[in-house]
């Protein structure tokens, strides 16, 4: 049922999961104060580019013990979240959600997040983006403790690790911070987590800050005597993988979490509970692919708009790898900012040479008899007039999809391009990819 | 999607789950020797009366570590198990399956058995019929150990209890018998279990023998010189909630498990590993509702055909509760054997007074404006000619459906019955229903 | 998705379609006076045994020109007609419905009745049971007129024949009676029809009376001073393939249509418009299979309850074909009345020897390796205790399912029956099967 | 199930249907010579932008009388056309297909093209793009002839008009050209048609040439001694709404049909049968929205690439409506060529100011409590860095979506744009929109 995914996503498939997490807490105490279920739905829609396989949402009524309301389904938010599901979820006044990236194999509801478990200190729901670098070792640890694991996913492993009682710190009652710290110390990367418990969302970023996570504020507004819009009331708090999701719900960006930070979000606001350090003053390691592929261009990471970073890479590319050419173009569409940056820096005109068919879907039929060129021609139409007889600089965003680029070159050549020069925009990774994303 | 359930099933809904379990082990070592997936499909079809909500099947290739093949779906075997699913399951040469009874609430795939978990001593799949009497207490025990539980089902509880390492007995390697014994001692009733591990099925009946379980043998046959059919080879072994499933796969009934017995079934046959005793020489407590409702009439329990027991109840009823009447009839159709027994004993003619509409399904539309009588008239047609002007003895199988019987009486009276005498066939329970089924 | 059909239906599959038609007109003028959509739903549920493949309903708001509301779906009424569909259909205060029998090939929504067409004299919806004996010839006639036909079904042919203008009789405006008479003269058998037009249902039975059709009255009731229930108001009128459907909606049986009769039903009641005669005083030819298979036993045809006719056939069979035996039994379950009749006449005890698995469904997997006997053993369990060592008279309802009966005999013999004598209850057809049903 | 449609499509929804038609004939006589079903699947995939609601394909074995193979389904080609469907369709060696645009109301399989009907001169399948300007009048004509119409669609009307026998020209046998000419004279605009009959596809463009249609050739290729690719054999012929579909199947563009032309395509090639003239030398009237919205930018109409026409409109716009500004941008993404053209002509830098969320889907939840701005913010993210403090010329492709443009302006202003100047690229329509598209 999933939609025809663009090339960017597909190439990212060669890496591990992207996924998006989103949470919302109403500042009011009664369910009607803020339509939390609707806000989460909008938030996940804005994070849909991070995962189109499945969607899951859990809300809590915030009581002790709390009641959880769950909806999970395979597919896009706009296809599988309906009014009837929201009606049930609206009984909660805080909640978390997740969109999952399509990875091969385990494409079923069993693996759909958030994972909900009852533990000896209450029910929690957990949504995460990323993965545990030392999952195999932790898995053995959990199994040795006598726990049975029913999936191969990190999500289940994380919930079971959170369920294992920390030895000392719970003498005086449940201590989720201790449990979370415990997990973070056991696995230093590479994940962002949302944990829902009663009236609280715990937002967690791994000590290396590998995956993004940021906080926003929902505020009712009013227009005062023609003097524009002003804040009149804080309606609630949101937490999201990407700031791009704040626009569509009318939330204001507050700040990103620090690497290793544990933030507690309740109806009264958010506070930083702890920051788990990296060993030996190791530098943070934000995932470079977030800039190159995963993130939506209007998202802000480390104070910079992703689009601007991509454009700057294009400029730098023009400086480092100039070439005699007539036009600059892009492999649509994640490479477009870089191509525009390259064109600007090189003083060459930017043109479009390829148009994309968004409806291609999975190539279920193998093109046996007709030449292999066709599978690329199915995906891209050639805008001949824009480049016939010209020398093209074609900017792509990474070398991951090397298998695709050579038939594209052939396509352009056969359509009359005089020369095709490939330029790849992703900067050399500043840190080795220790963290397996 | 579920089927239009007959009244018997619906009344049983007032009690807890029935469910059916079925297992099969090929005596050959290669997958082609016996189509285990097909045998399990047929076996579950024959147990479909015990549960129509969902079906699940797991096969194992028998290796160490073994590979499991799983298919689970909501609905009837004949609707949701297709050739494509069998193709995958056929890679196994032993396996277990489960049909689940529709209970309110948790009607989703998450609760569909068999449950598969990885434990520190390997992967297991578990299918059970029944429930743990002390589930709440055991649940706390598991949670206290630091395990997170993601459903409220006994199935998950059982798998996690099996996963918890027994303290001493595994010094020399995995000891599933010790683990199973451990579980049985912790919970004495009321369940039958199948546990699939590598090349073995462990079949377990609780110490009180509350739920049924029996073993059969699959044998290839040949016709010899017109001298009839003879056994030429044992093809495999089967284990099932009810012996009625053996007929449709051409298996021969071997024996029922004893209360408390643990039987190990492999390609070489079955052996009894242990019998866990009841405390203080308490008597066994076979579930009376198995005789009254759950079982198919051709099934054999404790050496007696269920149909015959039901008929005998009818005879006894005629002796204990005679009445002046003209005809004896049944509320179709589980009460029919008792009605025939009553008629025979009382020397009265047996006639049919009601015919049943099998397509009624759930009464989703409330009969607001028309009188309530209609919901029964939707389910049963009246065979007027057979009873007009007569005094009817109407035999029903239990008083559970008390809400239904009075509109039936009114229906018959309005159609011309002179008198309607209700007789209920279920014998007074010989043991208090301690075991919660 | 359809349910596991009983043997009766399946054997009938060797013949052509059964199908059920049902119509309802409210005596009130406003939609709220009678829930016509609900009544039709209940009526079709009671006719479900005549066809399980698809269901269709069309209601009209009765205006001129009228608005039609349509719901059609594949599957059982209880599965595919939901509250949301009724909400739309409730805008009409009269309507017709259809349940369709599963025939091979054209199993799709395109063939689902009622067929709705716009004609030069207004919109009509048509539902029929049966078929046109001279369909091929009529088809050519319609095609020659320049009409394109998009299915091979008689339903489309009938609607197009009704749309063709009769030459003279419509000088003064639409004349549906003339159009219907025109159709009936063109095709004398074998069908019953319901035609919905504006505020009227035309109910039609072919001149040979081959297929059944009867009329009922819906009446609100009240209890007066303990003197029982009395009629207080006529709420509406219903028309149905079988009277069994009247019970479940609280309607009173009025009468069957005569062969060749055209009855007009409106909010004010029903009147007979015409009776089209048979040529040369040919006798009527009611379909014998309606008695043997198709009809529900509580239905009344020609003043007799179907069950009673079946029982009488059993008695006659005992007189004409007696045999030395110990017990009489049935192939469940349409043969049961005949078996009880046989047993009574022969003075032998009636017992059950087979119990049926209602969940068998279509045998999608061919039993390659195991003996063919199994496919019958899948469908029927053997009640051994009731016949071991005895001579059985086994009554079946027709020889159509000859392919099934021999493995049943073998099943019973292998289980210990001393002798098995087959008796077939369907009387020799009094007329050759000219009419193709 | 349909996909989240982009803004371009949605605005087009304010007009009538786009739809795409595609046909293919193998030059070989046996099914294996060319995988016609696969070619049609690829062709329809490339036309998916013209309609995402449903897809239909019909192939013919070319015999007399011929056998037709049909697959129709709701949804995208890549979702609902599977290998199993192709297997059946492959029995044909020519065929036609259709993708349907989502219009309100009649979204079901009944309206899914191609329409297949049997007529007195054989079976035909018809797929069309466009509509009959005088449909209401023609509808009355057909009804008056005694034909019943079961949908309100032009497709059924066209098939019935083709089925009505032309008075004289068929003395010597079927004359499809006369029938088609008959239809064209009755309705002069606005449609393109494909008609499949036995071994022939008739391709038809209305006399005003309102909708596009073009022909291509499939040719096997070989590489000769490093001298590049040469034609070795004609494999078949294709006909399509847009030339963009030829690239993905490796077909070569031959030519567009002339307005009013009837072309016959068989295994031996294509020939022009007739050109039906316009009355009084009226000029042709190609649909301007094909250039503005409907067509894929790489398609060629009237010898010009659609992209180039759009870009030229942008240049012209800059000449006619210049403005003092800092940057030029687009409402993604159909307006991008015009924006690039404007930027080039005006000598201003082109930047992106909005990024689009492709997963938005239908806004099923009304944004009651949060300001209406959000529904636009859901669809578009703001690329602030690219325009903060600047004066933007924002090029859109038409004024149809006037409801959307004002919240976009507000969005940009609130994000820091100093000025926002809207420029609409669609040229004033050179002909009044007589033809109702």
Query: Are B287 and B331 found together in one domain?
Result: no
* Nearest C-alpha neighbor of B75 from the set B149, B169, B2: B2
Using pLDDT thresholds of 50, 70 and 90, give the confidence band for residue C9. Answer: very low
Q: Which chains does chain D touch, 3 or more C-beta pairs < 8 A? A: A, C
Maximum CA pair distance of chain D?
Answer: 77
Q: Which domain holds residue D18?
A: 7-301
Residue C6 pLDDT > 80: no
Query: Are A248 and A352 found together in one domain?
Result: no
Predicted TM-score (pTM) of this structure = 0.87
Query: Are A234 and A286 found together in one domain?
Result: yes
In angstroms, rounded to a whole number, what is the distance separating the alpha carbons of residues A99 and C348?
70
Query: Are B46 and B124 found together in one domain?
Result: yes
pLDDT in tens, C94-140: 999 999 986 543 557 778 899 999 999 999 999 999 989 999 999 99
Asked whether residue D247 is assigned to any structural domain, the reply reads yes
How does DSSP classify residue C326? Answer: S
Using pLDDT thresholds of 50, 70 and 90, give the confidence band for residue B227. Answer: low
C-beta atoms of A148 and B163 within 8 A: yes
Asked whether residue C433 is assigned to any structural domain, the reply reads no
A120 touching B (Cβ < 8 Å): yes
Query: Are D139 and D220 found together in one domain?
Result: yes
ipTM over 0.90: no
Residue D143 neighbours by CB distance under 10 Å: 20
- If one compares C171 and B123, the residue with the highest pLDDT of the two is B123
Asked whether residue A361 is assigned to any structural domain, the reply reads yes
Please count the structural domains in chain A. Answer: 2
C-beta atoms of B349 and C344 within 8 A: yes
In angstroms, rounded to a whole number, what is the distance separating the alpha carbons of residues C192 and C211?
6
Asked whether residue C306 is assigned to any structural domain, the reply reads no
CA dihedral B333, B338, B341, B343 (to 10 degrees): -70
Using pLDDT thresholds of 50, 70 and 90, give the confidence band for residue B226. Answer: low
Using pLDDT thresholds of 50, 70 and 90, give the confidence band for residue D169. Answer: confident
Query: Are A159 and A228 found together in one domain?
Result: yes
Q: Is B231 within any annotated ligand binding site? A: no
Residue B155 pLDDT > 80: yes
Answer for the pair A72, A49: CB distance below 8 angstroms, yes or no.
Answer: no
Which of C120, C150, C160 minimises the CB distance to D116?
C150
C-beta atoms of B247 and C377 within 8 A: yes
Task: Indicate the helix (H) or strand (E) that contains C183.
Answer: helix C176-186
C-beta atoms of C377 and B297 within 8 A: no
- If one compares B165 and A69, the residue with the highest pLDDT of the two is A69
Which of A188-197, B228-237, C285-294, D424-433 bottoms out in mean pLDDT, i.e. has the lowest?
D424-433
Query: Are C270 and C317 found together in one domain?
Result: no
pLDDT in tens, D377-396: 889 999 999 999 999 999 99
User: What is the nearest CA distance from A116 to chain B, expressed in angstroms?
Assistant: 6
Between CA A181 and CA A189, with CA A185 as vertex, the angle to 5 degrees is: 110
Between CA A388 and CA D244, with CA A331 as vertex, the angle to 5 degrees is: 60
**Range A363-390 average pLDDT:** 74
The CATH number linked to A285 is: 3.60.20.10
How does DSSP classify residue A31? Answer: G
**Range D283-312 average pLDDT:** 93
**Where do the H-state alpha helices sit in C294-348?**
306-320, 336-346
**Range B266-270 average pLDDT:** 96
Residue B51 pLDDT > 70: yes
Asked whether residue C132 is assigned to any structural domain, the reply reads yes
**Range B230-240 average pLDDT:** 87
DSSP three-state, residue A349: coil
Hey, what are B52's tokens?
A: 């129509």
Q: How far is CA A133 from CA A21, A138, C427, D42, in A?
A: 19, 10, 79, 42
What is the per-residue DSSP string for B230-286? EEEEEEEEEEES-THHHHTTTEEEEEEPPTTEEEEEETTEEEEEEEPPPGGGPPP--
Q: Is B199 within any annotated ligand binding site? A: no
Query: Are A212 and A327 found together in one domain?
Result: no
Residue D110 pLDDT > 90: no
In angstroms, rounded to a whole number, what is the distance separating the alpha carbons of residues A384 and A61?
58
Asked whether residue D343 is assigned to any structural domain, the reply reads yes
Query: Are C36 and C129 found together in one domain?
Result: yes
C-beta atoms of D147 and C159 within 8 A: no
DSSP three-state, residue C232: strand
Model pLDDT, residue B400:
55
Which of C305, C344, C385 minimises the CB distance to B308?
C385
In angstroms, rounded to a whole number, what is the distance separating the alpha carbons of residues A180 and B53?
39
Please state, rounded to an integer, the average pLDDT across all residues of chain C. 86
- If one compares C426 and D355, the residue with the highest pLDDT of the two is D355
Task: Indicate the helix (H) or strand (E) that contains B140.
Answer: helix B135-144
Interface of B with A in 154-183 (CB under 8 A): 159-160, 162-165
Last residue within a domain, chosen from B268, B301, B334: B301
Last residue within a domain, chosen from A247, A275, A301: A301
- If one compares D426 and A352, the residue with the highest pLDDT of the two is A352
Asked whether residue C375 is assigned to any structural domain, the reply reads yes
Q: Which residue of C has its CA nearest to B383?
A: C298
Query: Are D64 and D108 found together in one domain?
Result: yes
Using pLDDT thresholds of 50, 70 and 90, give the confidence band for residue A229. Answer: low
User: What is the nearest CA distance from A73 to chain B, expressed in angstroms?
Assistant: 12
Q: Is D385 within any annotated ligand binding site? A: no
pLDDT in tens, A133-150: 999 999 999 999 999 999
Model pLDDT, residue C232:
73
Model pLDDT, residue B237:
97
C-beta atoms of A147 and B147 within 8 A: yes
Using a CB-CB distance cutoff of 8 angstroms, which residues of chain A are in contact with residue D221? 371
Interface of B with C in 306-345 (CB under 8 A): 307-308, 336-337, 340, 344
Model pLDDT, residue C437:
35
pLDDT in tens, C49-77: 999 889 999 999 999 889 999 999 988 99
Model pLDDT, residue B72:
92
Model pLDDT, residue A432:
34
* Nearest C-alpha neighbor of B31 from the set C369, C374, C375, A106: C369
pLDDT in tens, A391-407: 999 999 876 555 578 88
- If one compares D419 and D434, the residue with the highest pLDDT of the two is D419
Last residue within a domain, chosen from A301, A327, A356: A301
Model pLDDT, residue D400:
55
* Percent residues over pLDDT 90 in chain C: 66
Model pLDDT, residue C364:
43
Using pLDDT thresholds of 50, 70 and 90, give the confidence band for residue B30. Answer: confident
Hey, what are C375's tokens?
A: 């496919």
- If one compares B106 and A38, the residue with the highest pLDDT of the two is A38
Which phi and psi angles does C65 have, rounded to 5°?
A: -70, 150
C-beta atoms of B358 and C6 within 8 A: yes
The CATH number linked to B370 is: 3.40.50.2020
Q: Which chains does chain B touch, 3 or more C-beta pairs < 8 A? A: A, C
Query: Are C242 and C352 found together in one domain?
Result: no
Query: Are B282 and B344 found together in one domain?
Result: no
Asked whether residue B129 is assigned to any structural domain, the reply reads yes
Residue C359 pLDDT > 60: yes
* Nearest C-alpha neighbor of A355 from the set D258, D103, D242, C412: D242
Q: Which residue of C has its CA nearest to D125?
A: C150
């Amino acid at each position: 049922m999933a939609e025809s995914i663009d090339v960017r996503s597909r190439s990212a498939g060669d890496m591990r999961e992207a996924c998006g997490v989103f949470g919302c807490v109403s500042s009011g105490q009664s369910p009607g104060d803020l339509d939390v279920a609707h806000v989460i739905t909008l938030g996940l829609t804005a994070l849909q580019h991070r995962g189109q396989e499945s969607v899951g949402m859990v809300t809590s009524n915030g009581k002790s013990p709390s009641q959880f309301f769950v909806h999970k389904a395979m597919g896009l938010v706009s296809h599988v979240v309906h009014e009837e599901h929201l009606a049930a979820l609206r009984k909660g006044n805080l909640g978390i959600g997740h969109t999952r990236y399509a990875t091969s194999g385990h494409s079923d509801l069993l693996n759909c997040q958030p994972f909900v478990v009852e533990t000896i200190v209450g029910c929690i729901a957990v949504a995460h983006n990323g993965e545990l670098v030392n999952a195999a070792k932790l898995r053995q640890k959990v199994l040795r403790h006598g726990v049975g694991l029913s999936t191969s996913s990190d999500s289940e492993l994380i919930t079971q690790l959170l369920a294992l009682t920390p030895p000392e710190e719970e003498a005086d009652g449940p201590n989720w911070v201790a449990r979370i710290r415990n997990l973070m110390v056991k696995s230093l990367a590479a994940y962002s987590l949302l944990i829902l418990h009663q009236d609280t969302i715990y937002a967690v970023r791994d000590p290396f800050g590998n995956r993004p996570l940021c906080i926003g504020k929902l505020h009712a507004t009013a227009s005062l005597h023609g003097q524009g819009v002003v804040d009149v009331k804080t309606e609630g708090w949101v937490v999201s993988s990407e700031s791009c999701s704040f626009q569509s719900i009318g939330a204001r960006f507050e700040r990103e979490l620090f690497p290793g930070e544990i933030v507690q979000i309740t109806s009264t606001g958010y506070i930083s509970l702890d920051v788990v350090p990296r060993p030996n003053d190791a530098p943070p390691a934000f995932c470079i692919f977030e800039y190159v592929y995963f993130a939506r261009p209007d998202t802000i990471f480390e104070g910079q708009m992703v689009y601007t970073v991509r454009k700057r890479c294009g400029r730098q590319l023009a400086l480092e790898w100039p070439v005699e050419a007539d036009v600059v173009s892009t492999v649509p569409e994640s490479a477009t900012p870089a191509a525009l940056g390259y064109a600007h820096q090189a003083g060459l005109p930017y043109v479009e040479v390829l148009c994309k068919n968004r409806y291609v879907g999975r190539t279920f039929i193998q093109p046996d008899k007709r030449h292999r060129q066709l599978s690329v021609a199915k995906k891209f139409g050639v805008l001949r007039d824009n480049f016939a007889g010209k020398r093209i600089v074609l900017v792509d965003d990474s070398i991951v999809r090397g298998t695709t680029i050579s038939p594209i070159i052939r396509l352009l050549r056969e359509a009359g391009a005089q020369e095709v020069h490939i330029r790849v925009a992703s900067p050399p990774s500043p840190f080795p990819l220790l963290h397996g994303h």
